[in-house]
């Protein structure tokens, strides 16, 4: 099950398509969807979580709490729509493109991908690009 929650005025325009895309991503990665909760919020909300739970006094676009067991995918993913908007401008991409990248980034972490080393970050980016292309081909 995938649920979308909102702690800001933002609302996804295509929850059904995004859910189907996330489910397919998890299946293609040979994992099983249990429960993933997305919470869309603002910078202040996510910053508070970052300080309280991770002891990081910085802004970020995404924080995920991983409850996966083996190949069973479960977790809470918090996304700052303000940070996504700023990053979209910095990377010269649309807000929707950057939002989808962040949405799938969290799921790919749950499927075992890391991004701390250059090699891991490149693999993560390649996977993001692959699944973004899948979304554009199949779910638009």
Annotated binding site for Zn(2+): 105, 109, 115
Torsion of CA 67, 9, 13, 94, to 10 degrees: -90
Question: What proportions of the chain, in percent to the nearest 5, are helix, strand and coil?
Answer: 55, 20, 25
Strand 72-80, strand 32-41: pairing: parallel
Residue 115 contacts residue 139 (beta carbons within 8 Å): no
Cα–Cα dist 47/121, whole Å: 23
Where is the binding site, in residues?
A: 105, 109, 115
Task: Enumerate residues 6+ apart whose C-beta is below 8 A from 85.
Answer: 95, 98
């Amino acid at each position: 099950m995938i649920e979308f929650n909102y702690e800001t005025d933002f609302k996804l325009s295509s929850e059904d398509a995004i859910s189907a895309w996330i489910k397919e991503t998890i299946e293609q990665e040979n994992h099983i969807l249990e429960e993933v909760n997305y919470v869309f919020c603002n910078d202040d909300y996510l910053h508070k979580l970052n300080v309280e739970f991770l002891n990081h006094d910085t802004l970020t676009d995404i924080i995920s709490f991983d409850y996966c067991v083996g190949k069973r995918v479960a977790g809470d993913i918090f996304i700052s729509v303000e940070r996504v908007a700023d990053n979209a401008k910095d990377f010269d991409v649309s807000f929707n493109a950057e939002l989808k990248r962040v949405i799938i980034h969290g799921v790919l972490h749950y499927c075992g991908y890391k991004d701390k080393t250059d090699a891991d970050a490149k693999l993560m980016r390649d996977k993001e690009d692959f699944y973004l292309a899948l979304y554009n081909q199949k779910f638009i």
